[in-house]
């Protein structure tokens, strides 16, 4: 429903922009018919010839610097039809840089009704530091051959009208700085009476490499009466390099589409037409023409005049803004971006009476009005049916065509002369580029144009130049030099996408996933810890040993079986634990110490002390005293291992292992028996009596690992049975203590 209303708004705007009489024919515009036009693609969007319209800026700034040089100008012939007017002149085209395509396109020449008492000074491409820079053309006072290059003016202090408008038909002209003798004076702004057939262009400056050129205010025609504007051309190949080839423009830009899709490119100081509604163009310097300001709080003269023409329609300005907003959001139909797309769109509207917006197919109630609105470019023979009726075409006499081409050649010679003149001034250091520089004057040989016929002059009543306010002294803001912006090469833009970076990020992540697998090697690393077992305190601080303790802790579970069976049901608790697979992984660590079978077996206890504090490694020899107790299968020596429970040092070992507090009580005697650790090696032959060894679970586990190369757990299971026999010796333990 909302889209349907927007189509109605578009149709209403079209009716205000275009004539209500004859509508668009049912047939869409036909492609170029000349055979020699092959390789030429008309553009439905692009720059507007600056001789047709140029935005007004309060402060002069240099244009963008582009990375490549333009091609040589092509040979261009004026069309054989031109609009009626007072002094219609053919002005040749030029190359313009398309920052969207990163390439040059040809801005076609145009038929222009020359503003009264002015003369066109064309622009040119100048080689600048790091690239090429376009120097804009301008309308100069007629027959003025001396050009004065001024130092850059101070920043504008215009803030809008200080007094209300005298009436609804008045237009405000912004103030500007004017150079007098040796300094700049401020010329205040003023109100003038608006005129339906004339637009007043306020005074402003144009930047050049040799200094700033002051352009006096002048009267110009409205857009609908300025002439015939031809669309830009993109050449698919260098057809202009063929000998004797001449390009003749054939497709014009319609005035209704121009007003409904007009933008100001602030980086190049020029107008653009067409589909620049996407959000990215706003950041690239494209501003709707009704939002551009000639000065602070002062609208663009062209929009101010259009608003004056529609002063009876209070909703015109708001509807125009709504159209731009809805197009930028994709809710309203945008102009076609290519000539082929335009033909397809017109075909759907005029024949199928449908249009697609946001992937929705909608019916069109007024096909002719909408087709007129979306027709951006049309052949010369069809443009009169689309534009307003006050533009009428007339054939150009064959005898007049050579004269028009001669004038176009002279205008190009002025561009070459101007480039050489301003380049020499920069090379000699005579350019007025600093605020303290003096003005410089140079001479340009402008072509002598034939004056307009007297009969035509009688029909035209040019308004008199407005009376300017008196110049006043005003404190000038400090000068702030502006460096020209640069266009990045085409290859530089894709680099900002950053696609490879996210792809690279996941790739490093898999390696960390593989790194968790190394914990298996850490299981093998417990063997090196055997030497490191002495400084074993390091594992507690380091998180890495955390994975290692589990293997070390696996031996610890055997101690709980040894301890648990002694106080309560010893045999029953160890039985559930042996079923646990954890003791089975323990044999691998025990097997690792086995490689040193004979002498190294005492050392394996030290690795088992790894889970327990390293000082206990000495205590682990203490578990070896239980082996000494093993040689003492005799009842008295076995009580000696029983004193091991009182020893307090083993609890620290158990704190590292944290699984068995009971084992701590059992291991405590180990430090007490540590002095017996020396005899313990001698008592190692005692490993056969594994039953007493079971009480100090750690030592029993070590002995089992040493005695059995294959399955110590099986031997460990019977060990609990002998444990009841050692129980009586504890009773004798007090006898042994004395």
For residue 629, the model assigns a pLDDT of 42
User: Are β-strands 124-128 and 170-173 bridged in parallel, bridged antiparallel, or unpaired?
Assistant: unpaired
pLDDT digits (tens, 9 = 90+) for 157-208: 999 999 999 998 999 999 999 999 999 999 999 999 999 999 999 999 999 9
Mean per-residue pLDDT for 462-490? Answer: 85
For residue 456, the model assigns a pLDDT of 52
Query: Which of 79-83, 329-333, 480-484 has the least mean pLDDT?
Result: 480-484
Torsion of the alpha carbons at 191, 195, 201 and 203, rounded to the nearest 10: -30
Q: What is the pLDDT of residue 497?
A: 34
Mean pLDDT to the nearest integer, 442-469: 75
What's the pLDDT at 457? Answer: 52
Residue 657 has pLDDT above 60, yes or no: no
Could you tell me the pLDDT band of residue 43, with boundaries at 50, 70 and 90?
very high
Of residues 737 and 25, the one with the higher pLDDT is 737
Average pLDDT over every residue of 588-598: 44
Between residues 303 and 511, which one has the greater pLDDT?
303
Q: What is the pLDDT of residue 453?
A: 54
Two tokens at 254? 């319609």
What's the pLDDT score for residue 52?
Answer: 97
Residue 168 is predicted with a pLDDT of 87
Instruction: List pLDDT tens digits, range 360-382.
Output: 888 888 888 888 888 999 998 88
Q: Which pLDDT tens digit goes with each residue over 503-561?
A: 334 444 444 444 444 444 444 444 444 444 444 444 444 444 444 444 444 444 444 44
pTM over 0.75: no
**How confident is the model over 716-736, as pLDDT tens digits?**
444 445 454 555 555 445 444
The reported pLDDT for the residue numbered 451 is 57
- Point out which residues pair with 148 in neighbouring strands: 441
The pLDDT, as a whole number, for residue 641 is: 45
- Percentage of the chain surpassing pLDDT 70? 59
Please answer whether residues 685 and 631 qualify as being in contact, where contact means their C-beta atoms are separated by less than 8 angstroms: yes
Model pLDDT for residues 241-286, shown as the tens digit of each residue: 888 888 999 999 998 889 899 999 999 999 999 999 999 999 999 9
Query: Pick the residue with more confidence: 577 or 329?
Result: 329
Q: Where are the domains of the chain?
A: 2-156+169-180+195-459
**In the predicted structure, residue 14 carries a pLDDT above the cut 80:** no
| pLDDT-based confidence at residue 85 (cuts at 50, 70, 90) | confident
Query: What pLDDT score was predicted for residue 300?
Result: 95
Tens digit of each residue's pLDDT (9 = 90 or more) over 126-136: 999 889 999 99
Number of Cβ atoms within 10 Å of the Cβ of 23: 17
The pair phi, psi for residue 65, each rounded to 5°, is -105, 125
* Residue 469: per-residue pLDDT: 93
**pLDDT exceeds cutoff 50 at 608:** no
* Average pLDDT taken over every residue of the chain: 72
Tell me which long-range contacts 188-192 makes (C-beta under 8 A, separation of at least 24). 188/469, 188/472, 189/158, 189/160, 189/161, 189/162, 189/295, 189/298, 189/469, 190/466, 190/468, 190/469, 191/161, 191/163, 191/165, 191/166, 192/466
Residues 6 or more apart whose CB falls under 8 angstroms from that of 372 comprise 14, 18, 23, 24, 254, 256, 386
Comparing 245-259, 479-493, 575-589, the range with the smallest average pLDDT is 575-589
Average pLDDT (140-167) is 93
């Amino acid at each position: 429903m909302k889209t349907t209303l927007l189509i109605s708004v578009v149709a209403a705007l079209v009716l205000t922009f275009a004539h209500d009489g004859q509508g668009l024919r049912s047939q869409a515009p036909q492609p170029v018919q000349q055979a020699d036009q092959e390789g030429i693609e008309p553009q439905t969007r692009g720059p507007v010839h600056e001789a047709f319209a140029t935005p007004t800026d309060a402060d002069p700034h240099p244009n963008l610097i582009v990375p490549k040089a333009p091609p040589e100008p092509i040979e261009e012939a004026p069309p054989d039809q031109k609009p009626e007017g007072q002094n219609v002149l053919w002005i040749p085209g030029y190359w313009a840089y398309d920052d969207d395509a990163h390439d040059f396109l040809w801005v076609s020449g145009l038929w222009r009704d020359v503003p009264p008492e002015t003369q066109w000074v064309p622009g040119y491409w100048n080689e600048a530091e790091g690239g090429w820079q376009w120097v804009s053309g301008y309308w100069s006072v007629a027959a003025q051959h001396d050009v004065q290059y001024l130092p850059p003016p101070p920043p504008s202090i215009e803030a809008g009208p200080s007094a209300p408008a005298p009436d609804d038909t008045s237009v405000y002209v912004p103030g500007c700085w004017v150079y007098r003798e040796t300094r700049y004076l401020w010329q205040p702004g003023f109100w003038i009476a608006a005129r339906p057939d004339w637009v007043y262009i306020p005074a402003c400056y144009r930047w050049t490499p040799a200094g700033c050129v002051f352009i006096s205010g002048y009267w110009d025609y409205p857009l609908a009466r300025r002439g015939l504007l031809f669309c830009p051309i993109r050449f698919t190949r260098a057809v202009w390099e063929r000998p004797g080839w001449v390009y003749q423009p054939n497709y014009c830009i319609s005035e209704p589409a121009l007003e409904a899709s007009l933008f100001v490119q602030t980086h190049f100081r020029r107008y653009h037409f067409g589909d620049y509604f996407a959000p990215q163009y706003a950041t690239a310097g494209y501003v709707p023409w009704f939002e551009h300001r000639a000065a602070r709080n002062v609208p663009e003269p062209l929009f101010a005049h259009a608003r004056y023409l529609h002063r009876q329609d209070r909703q015109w300005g708001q509807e125009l803004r709504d159209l731009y907003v809805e197009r930028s959001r994709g809710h309203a139909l945008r102009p076609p971006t290519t000539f082929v797309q335009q033909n397809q769109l017109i075909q759907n509207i005029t024949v199928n009476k449908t249009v697609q917006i946001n992937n929705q197919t909608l019916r069109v109630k007024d096909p002719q009005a909408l087709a007129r609105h979306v027709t951006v470019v049309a052949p010369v023979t069809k443009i009169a049916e689309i534009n307003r009726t006050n533009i009428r075409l007339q054939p150009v006499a064959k005898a007049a065509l050579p004269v028009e081409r001669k004038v176009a050649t002279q205008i190009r010679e002025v561009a070459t002369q101007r480039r050489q003149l301003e380049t020499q001034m920069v090379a000699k250091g005579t350019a007025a580029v600093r605020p303290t520089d003096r003005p410089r004057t140079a001479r340009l040989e402008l072509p002598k144009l034939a004056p307009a016929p007297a009969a035509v002059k009688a029909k035209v009543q040019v308004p008199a130049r407005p009376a300017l306010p008196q110049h006043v002294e005003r404190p000038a803001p400090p000068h702030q030099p502006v460096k020209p912006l640069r266009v990045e090469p085409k290859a530089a833009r894709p680099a900002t996408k950053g696609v490879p970076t996210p792809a690279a990020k996941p790739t490093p992540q898999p390696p960390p996933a593989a790194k968790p697998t190394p914990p298996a090697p850490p299981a093998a690393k417990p063997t090196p810890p055997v030497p490191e077992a002495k400084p074993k305190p390091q594992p507690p601080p380091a998180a890495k040993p955390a994975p290692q303790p589990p293997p070390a802790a696996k031996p610890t579970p055997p101690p709980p079986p040894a301890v648990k069976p002694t106080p309560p049901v010893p045999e029953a608790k160890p039985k559930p634990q042996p079923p646990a697979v954890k003791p089975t992984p323990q044999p691998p660590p025990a097997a690792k110490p086995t490689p040193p079978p004979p002498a190294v077996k005492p050392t394996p206890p030290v690795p088992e002390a790894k889970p327990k504090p390293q000082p206990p490694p000495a205590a682990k020899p203490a578990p070896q005293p239980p082996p000494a107790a093993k040689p003492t299968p005799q009842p008295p020596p076995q009580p000696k291992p029983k004193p091991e429970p009182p020893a307090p040092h083993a609890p620290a070992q158990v704190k590292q292992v944290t699984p068995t507090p009971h084992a701590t009580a059992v291991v405590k005697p180990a430090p007490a028996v540590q002095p017996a650790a020396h005899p313990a090696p001698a008592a190692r032959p005692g490993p056969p009596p594994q039953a007493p060894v079971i009480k100090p679970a750690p030592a029993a586990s070590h002995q089992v690992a040493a005695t059995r190369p294959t399955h110590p757990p099986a031997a460990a299971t019977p060990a609990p049975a002998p444990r009841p026999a050692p129980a009586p010796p504890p009773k004798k333990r007090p006898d042994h203590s004395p």
